[in-house]
Structure 1
Amino acid sequence: MPLRQVYAAVARLISRDYWLTKLRSHRTRWVESLMIAAMDVCKQHHPYASRQAIRAVKSQRLANLRYLQAMEIEDTDSGERFGLIDKVMASIANPEIRRMELMAQMAGIEKVALARKDIGLFVTLTCPSKYHPTKLRQRGKDNIAVLNHRWKDAALTPKDGQRYLVKVWSRIRAAFADNDIAVYGVRVVEPHHDATPHWHLLLFTDKAHRAKAVEIMRKKALAEDPDEKGAQQHRFECKHLNKGGAVGYIAKYIAKNIDGYALEGETDFETGKPLTETAAAVSAWAATWRIPQFHFYNLPSKGVYRECRRLRSLSIATMLGDMAEKVRKAADEGDFAAYIDAQGGPCTPRKEQTLRIAYKTADEPNAYDEAVQKIAGIYAQLHPDTPLMKTRLKKYRLVKKEPARQAVDFLKSAIGAPRSSGNNCRKAIVTPSLDVHYFMPDCASREFFLLREYGFSSYTPESENPLPG
């Protein structure tokens, strides 16, 4: 280990902030694990996440919202300031924009697959029985959740289930590489009613390798505990999409895991509840267990896609070449299919793609004296003689929002002064159950806010929908 890494490790061990973050995260997952063990998280009680987890996530996001509303970003050169909340809501941190971007990219992937005449596969991977805290039993006309004795001895968490699925997928990818099978697509992670994760994968491959790809995935998915009851029927499922419509299969899962958009009238298969209501619980589940919900496989870099979108209507053909300009133009127009083709197509290794992201070392190290890598721009790696195209020329810093200055009218009578010291210009809202005091946001009251890299929260007036105590 280099000496600098030793210093950084020791700095973390003696850092109060580092341990506070780690312990808070551990406490949150530990409490949620107890809720799962007590069967509070299941179909008949609170599917996907406990009420406490949903409250904790919402409380954190409301606190983050207050911070965003109180801060601005300032251009260090010109001194121009912008509202931080406005910039956040205009980015993919906004769940609505995030959902639209994902759907546009899925449409682009399907367009590429149709042009290549590739076959679509909709695959579902599920964990073995020992990862599921509950199992369903028929009671009259309904299925109810009961404690799973296979899980009781191991007490595996949703995070353990996610690690298992990641390991299975790594073995599948290795088998694909050994058999020269080109597969590309997208993965969506969502929970069962008892918080155990499972994967939905929309994959594309050529017709000649379809049967072999399915065989490999089934074999790897059933490698562990293959003889347990229900393993052959539920651990691996595959639907063949022979006539398009691939985006329609994945659209519902994308909306369910973000904001429940356009799911009015749709019910959840496992719980029977409206999908518009379960979206908040699914988002809280992902935030609690730190599980990424969406991932693209064997497709060009989305980082380059977003950096190219910063270069609005700015041609880079002179600096980086005509092919690089095709990549930038496709990203600028939001044409993900053209972007994939200009980058070399699906399943193209990163070292062979047209454009890559360039990084630089930040001027100042982080709190643990480590060098920080920041995005500097993009470069055409296939043409080493071309220069670096910078995409982040301006420097910004976070500053507190200055209070609005009110003009003083010296001709106005003193009788117009307020009769109390309280400020009545904005309505303060106090949520006793969350112990959070915040102000009504300036944007629409039904707006969604994504304040970190996952999930969302929504604001509803307390008079309309009071939270339980």
Structure 2
Amino acid sequence: MKLNDYFWGSLRFKRQNIAPYGFRVAEPQHDGTPHWHMLFFIESEKLDALKAIIRHYALEVDGDEKGAAENRCDFKQIDPNKGSATGYILKYIAKNIDGEGVGEDKFGNDSLLVAQRIDAWASCWCIRQFQQIGGASVSVWRELRRLRSMFKDKKDSLLEQARFAADNSDWKGYILAMGGLYTKLKDRPIKLHYDLNIVEETGECLQSYYDGELILKVKGLWFAGKAIITRHYSWKVEKA
């Protein structure tokens, strides 16, 4: 599946009230073609519909060519006797970061060298290697981890729950504080706060190169009608 295919597939998921939760990893095949591994948790009664949508987009272009039906799209259900869902996806994450603890691949190549090549491939073609699917925003999680002071006010107790969970790497606690798995983005209690991207020396508001629109950048979090600033400094690269 191409990224654009996944976008349209997501729309079809929404129309059929399918909300998968999981993770995606992209890695290269021998010819450099992106290959996806997706781990999803889904209600059992919606599994067949999810498979049908993914298979449709996987075979949409030249789906009748030799081997396409057998090789382009493959589904496996996690067997607890063979390992956990975490163990399955962890292997693909590790081999695409630094290869630590993976050993050799099935072709006998050292995983550390393979990881370096994958990193170069992703950098060269601007490929997003990892993506969380469903659940609460990872960007909000990252901004919460910038906060170091507790929120002791009772009205901010939910914000403190989310901050504490993020600061202690408790993803489950963070998801629960954000309303659970299936809460829509607009209904999440904590959102990103954006502000204009301003050049401090001149006061100029930066504009998009293509359409001239003002550029917004993340400045913090938005909770209970107020902004919480998490980014207090602006950094720039200068010649020595």
Residue 258 (structure 1) shift: 1.2
Query: Cα offset for 1:347?
Result: 3.2
Question: Would you say 1:378 and 2:214 are equivalent positions?
Answer: no
* Aligned equivalent of 1:395: 233
Structure 2 matches for 1:36-435, cutoff 5 A?
Answer: 165-243=2-80, 245-264=84-103, 266-267=104-105, 269=106, 271-315=107-151, 317-318=153-154, 321-364=156-199, 365-366=205-206, 371-380=214-223, 383-384=224-225, 387-392=226-231, 394-397=232-235
C-alpha distance in 2 between matches for 1:296 and 1:346: 12
Q: Structure 1 residues 274 and 242, CA, compared in 2 at 3 Å: closer, same or farther?
A: same
Post-superposition CA distance 1:259-313 (Å, at most 9, x none): 111123x32x3x4312222111111111111111111112211111111111124
Tell me the amino acid that sits aligned with residue 280 of structure 1.
Answer: Q
Between the aligned partners of 2:52 and 2:213, the Cα distance in structure 1 is 46
Task: Assess if the C-alpha contact under 8 Å between 1:299 and 1:340 holds in 2.
Answer: yes
Distance in 2, Cα, partners of 1:399 & 1:284: 23
| Higher relative contact order (CA closer than 8 Å, sequence separation 6+) | 1
* Kept in 2: contact 1:186–1:297 (CA 8 A): yes
Cα distance change, pair 317–331 in 1 and its aligned pair in 2 (3 A): farther
Instruction: State the shift of 1:255 in Å.
Output: 1.3
C-alpha displacement of 1:220: 2.6
Q: Which runs of 5+ in 1 are unaligned?
A: 1-124, 126-164, 403-469
User: What SS does structure 2 have at the residue aligned with 1:203?
Assistant: strand
Q: Helix, strand or coil: the match of 2:62?
A: coil
Partners of 1:323 and 1:242 in 2: how far apart? Answer: 36
Asked whether the 8 Å contact 1:257–1:282 carries over to 2, the reply is yes
- Name the counterpart of 1:118: none
Distance 1:341 1:295 in 2: 20
SS of match in other structure, 2:75: strand
Counterpart amino acid of residue 303 in structure 1? S
Cα offset for 1:374?
2.8
Change in CA separation of 1:236 and 1:317 when aligned onto 2, cut-off 3 Å: farther
Shift, 1:401, TM fit: 11
SS in 2 for 1:337: helix
Q: Provide the aligned C-alpha RMSD in A.
A: 2.4
Name structure 2 gaps, 5 residues minimum.
Answer: 200-204
Q: Which residue of 2 is the match for residue 32 of structure 1?
A: none
Contact 1:298 1:348 survives alignment (8 Å): no
Would the alpha carbon gap of residues 363 and 197 (structure 1) be closer, same or farther in structure 2, given more than 3 Å must change? closer
TM-score by length of 2: 0.85
The alpha-carbon deviation at position 397 of structure 1 amounts to: 4.7
Aligned partners of 1:219 and 1:376: how far apart in 2?
40
Q: Which residue of 1 aligns with 2:202?
A: none
The CA distance in 1 between the partners of 2:109 and 2:28, in whole Å, is 15
AA aligned opposite 1:374: K
Higher mean C-alpha displacement, 208-217 vs 360-369: 360-369
Structure 2 Cα separation of the partners of residues 277 and 292 of structure 1: 20
Cα distance in structure 2, aligned partners of 1:357 and 1:292: 21
Name 1:113's counterpart in structure 2.
none
Match of 1:322, as an amino acid? S
TM-score of the two chains, using structure 1 as the length reference:
0.46
Alpha-carbon contact 1:316-1:324 (below 8 Å) kept: no
Residues 242 and 323 from structure 1, CA distance in 2 versus in 1: closer, same or farther, beyond 3 angstroms? farther
| Residues 395 and 239 of structure 1, relative CA distance in 2, 3 Å threshold | same
Report the Cα distance in structure 2 between the residues aligned to 1:326 and 1:317, rounded to whole angstroms.
12
Q: How many angstroms does 1:396 deviate by?
A: 5.0
Q: Kindly, what percent of the aligned residue pairs are identical?
A: 37
| Counterpart residue identity of residue 43, structure 2 | D
SS at match of 2:74: strand
1:349 Cα deviation from its structure 2 partner: 1.7
CA distance in 1, matches of 2:239, 2:13: 53
- Cα distance in 1, alignment partners of residues 238 and 62 from structure 2: 56
